[in-house]
């Protein structure tokens, strides 16, 4: 018997349907001829709790730390024993085994760790599926590989799992116990990724709270030229009081100049006109899709991921969604017309866009060199039944189709103009843009932020027709939203102060991964460290206090993002897991030395101002207003030793 182990039941069903023969269901598996297809339910195993290594670790004590297992142990997750029993029985009967986890780091880990845990010693084939439609699954079944080729990916995932355990268990215990000594009743969980993300939110909220608005002033003038009127803005030089963004800090110079401007004859001093071509945005990675869907449809990162999973697993309308790639394989180009014809069927807007697509075009999106374990999100070509899709699923699907469809539109061509007017020996600046060829642009928006300027000539006279001074105020930074927080995690180098580290991080995938970013936000919400206020994500008093009490290095993204870089190197075979974990332990001991009750007490006191509005907003949103969620939170406080709260 051949045994194929899939990551989830939906994938197992797709594999069984693609095999030749009649499918029959048996306990925990599907039979097709001499093949049995079974499944995991996500992770069936998890890292064992500390007391599995030593019973004394059941009690939380600072003098136990750091807890470092000599021989790592896995234990079945809650409700996983039944499926593990099925897999154990099937493995005893099997003559060959196929690993059919998702094509990513975690997919490699969760199936292989079960195979190893249950004692299989034979060879294992690797089945990689990114599209659940039958023809795609059949093609994947014809080109299976040796699972040994993916051991580097497995070692990276295993190192990630152990690193998260070491970091989460030890630091969560240390700061929970320190918090208890400082009067805080509850678990203060610390995570290798979640805490730096919380740090981003908490620091942004502090910037907003500490922001002092300052007035500044602008002067505009309308210049009458041969072919129309142009509004331009005064560019004061350093003879005047300016801030670091060249904003005028006193009104008097602007008023003085404005009083002299009426009827003044000036001229076009400089004119810079350039034609530009801009290719269509690439197809989506998951994070890029989460950013756009949050901005356009106000969907949370988790909401976008859930919609993608449904479109992939239930409806089979899109390819594997947890992808960090924005490119497509070159051989997909030849099938694109047929694929998009199926995807656009039944939708008026998509069908209209399809009718104007030029399938002879080949954008830079089709590039095998840029495609790794998975490619960009794309439609499978299955015809959608929009009546069966939720509003979120339909909106997300249309975005995915649109970005692939845009690859068959010509570039956007524009003429961009920058002009400086000179009047009374002062400079006034304007800019505009004329769309020459709209190309792909109408698929995304009909609005243009920079309207065109009238025809201008270098040196032509320009008379001031109107002018005014406007009073303005500096504004605080915007609070994070799902879109901006995901984007910050993708581009974490922007939030790094060390120049050398920032340069390194520009080459990495940022903080967290495509598969985990939405979950990180939800974890922070569930643990009461952040709340939603409308579309904004704000730190609670507890979240603020935790960030203030931790060593600065534990709250910033540098170390975690560099660890993610090393995990990627392990996955590529250019680094090893052991040195990575050794370095982590050194960092861990340094961080544990920073646990301080006095600092925690001070942090809790300084964060009081964030308590009332955050809780009120949370109750209003209903996030933690239900009895079930509140009860769960109270249970967490009574039982701080639960492994899930430590990690």
User: Any idea which residues carry the catalytic annotation?
Assistant: 320
CA gap 180, 234 in Å, rounded: 58
Cis-peptide into 66, omega within 30 deg: yes
Check if the beta carbon of residue 168 is closer than 8 Å to that of residue 192.
yes
Our measurement of the distance from residue 129's CA atom to the centroid of its chain's CA atoms, rounded to an integer in Å, reads 23
Both tokens of residue 599? 């600092």
Which three-class secondary structure state does DSSP give residue 463?
A: strand
- Alpha-carbon distance of 420 to 462, in angstroms, equals 11
Sign of the torsion formed by the C-alpha atoms of 191, 193, 194 and 196: positive
Strand-strand pairing, 2-6 and 96-100: parallel
Selection from 31, 48, 161 nearest residue 108 by Cα: 161
- For residue 522, the Cα-to-chain-centroid distance in whole angstroms is 12
Q: Measured at the alpha carbon of residue 192, what is the angle toward residues 187 and 196, in degrees to the nearest 5?
A: 90
Residue of 397, 403, 510, 415 whose CA lies nearest to 454: 415
Task: Give the strands of the sheet with 23-26, arranged side by side.
Answer: 23-26, 29-32, 35-39, 2-6, 96-100, 124-126, 145-146
CB-neighbour burial class of residue 441 (10 A; exposed 0-12, middle 13-18, buried 19+)? buried
Two tokens at 630? 């509140």
The two three-digit tokens of residue 325, written as one number? 């790639």
Residue whose structure tokens are 């290719």: 279
Q: Which residue has the tokens 């019973």?
A: 55
Q: Give the CA distances from residue 282 to residues 29, 325, 367, in Å, rounded to whole numbers and listed in that order.
A: 39, 10, 11
Give the SS3 label for residue 421. strand
**How far, in whole angstroms, is CA 368 from its chain's centroid?**
23
Segments in 235-279 forming alpha helices (H): 251-260
Helices 541-549 and 194-210: crossing angle, nearest 10°?
110
Strands 45-47 and 74-76: antiparallel
DSSP letter for 233, please.
E
d(CA 636, CA 645): 8
Contacts of 605 (CB under 8 A, 6+ apart): none
**∠ Cα 382 386 388 (to 5°):** 95
Grouping H, G, I as helix, E, B as strand and the rest as coil, residue 335 is helix
Contact 151, 573 (CB under 8 A): no
Residue 13 token pair: 């069903």
* Two structure tokens written together for 94: 């099997």
């Amino acid at each position: 018997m051949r045994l194929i182990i899939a990551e989830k039941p939906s994938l197992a069903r797709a594999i069984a349907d693609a095999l030749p023969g009649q499918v029959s269901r048996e306990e925990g598996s599907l039979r097709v001829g001499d093949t049995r297809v079974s499944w995991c339910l996500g992770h069936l195993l998890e890292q064992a709790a500390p007391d599995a290594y030593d019973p004394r670790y059941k009690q939380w004590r600072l003098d136990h730390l750091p807890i470092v297992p000599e021989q790592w142990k896995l234990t079945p997750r809650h409700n996983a024993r039944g499926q593990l029993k099925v897999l154990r029985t099937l493995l005893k009967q099997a003559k060959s085994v196929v690993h059919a986890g998702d094509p990513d780091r975690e997919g490699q880990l969760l199936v292989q760790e079960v195979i190893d845990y249950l004692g299989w010693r034979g060879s294992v084939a690797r089945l990689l599926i990114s599209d659940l439609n039958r023809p795609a699954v059949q093609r994947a079944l014809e080109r299976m590989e040796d699972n040994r080729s993916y051991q580097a990916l497995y070692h990276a995932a295993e190192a990630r799992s152990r690193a998260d355990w070491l970091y989460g268990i030890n630091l969560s215990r240390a700061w929970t116990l320190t918090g208890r000594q400082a009067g805080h009743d509850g678990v203060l969980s610390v995570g290798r990724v979640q805490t730096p993300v919380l740090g981003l939110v908490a620091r942004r909220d502090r910037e907003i709270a500490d922001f002092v608005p300052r007035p500044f002033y602008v002067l505009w003038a309308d210049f009458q030229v041969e072919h129309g009127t142009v509004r331009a803005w005064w560019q004061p030089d350093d003879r005047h009081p300016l801030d670091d963004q060249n904003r005028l800090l006193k009104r008097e110079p602007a008023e003085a100049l404005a009083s002299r401007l009426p009827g003044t004859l000036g001229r076009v001093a400089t004119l810079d006109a350039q034609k530009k071509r801009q290719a269509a945005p690439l197809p989506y990675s998951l994070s890029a899709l989460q950013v756009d869907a949050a901005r356009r449809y106000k969907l949370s990162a988790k909401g976008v991921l859930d919609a993608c999973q449904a479109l992939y697993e239930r409806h089979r309308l899109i390819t594997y969604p947890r992808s960090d790639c924005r490119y497509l394989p070159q051989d997909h180009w030849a099938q694109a017309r047929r694929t998009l014809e199926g995807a656009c069927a039944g939708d008026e807007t998509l069908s209209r866009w399809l009718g104007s697509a030029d399938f002879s075009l080949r954008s830079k999106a089709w590039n095998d060199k840029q495609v790794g374990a998975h490619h960009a999100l794309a439609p499978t070509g299955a015809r959608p039944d929009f009546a069966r899709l939720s509003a979120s699923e339909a909106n997300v699907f249309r975005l995915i189709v649109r970005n692939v469809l845009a690859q068959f539109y010509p570039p956007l061509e524009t003429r961009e103009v920058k002009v400086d007017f000179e009047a009374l020996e002062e400079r006034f600046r304007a800019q505009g843009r004329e769309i020459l060829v709209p190309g792909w642009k109408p698929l995304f928006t009909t609005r243009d932020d920079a309207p065109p300027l009238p025809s201008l000539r270098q040196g032509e006279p320009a008379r001031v027709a109107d002018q005014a001074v406007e009073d303005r105020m500096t504004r605080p930074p915007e609070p994070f939203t799902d879109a901006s927080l995901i984007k910050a995690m993708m581009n974490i180098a922007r939030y790094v102060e060390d120049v050398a580290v920032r340069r390194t991080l520009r080459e990495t995938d940022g903080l967290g991964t495509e598969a985990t970013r939405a979950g990180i936000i939800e974890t922070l919400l569930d643990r009461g460290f952040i709340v939603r206020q409308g579309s904004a994500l704000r730190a609670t008093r507890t979240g603020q206090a935790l960030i203030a009490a931790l060593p600065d290095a534990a709250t910033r993204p540098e170390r975690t993002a560099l660890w993610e870089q090393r995990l990627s190197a392990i996955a590529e075979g250019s680094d090893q897991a052991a040195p990575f974990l050794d370095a982590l332990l050194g960092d861990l001991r340094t961080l544990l030395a920073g646990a301080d009750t006095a600092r925690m007490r001070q942090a809790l006191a300084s964060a009081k101002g964030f308590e009332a509005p955050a809780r009120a907003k949370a109750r209003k949103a209903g996030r933690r207003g239900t009895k079930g969620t509140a009860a769960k939170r109270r249970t967490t406080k009574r039982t701080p030793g639960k492994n899930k709260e430590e990690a």
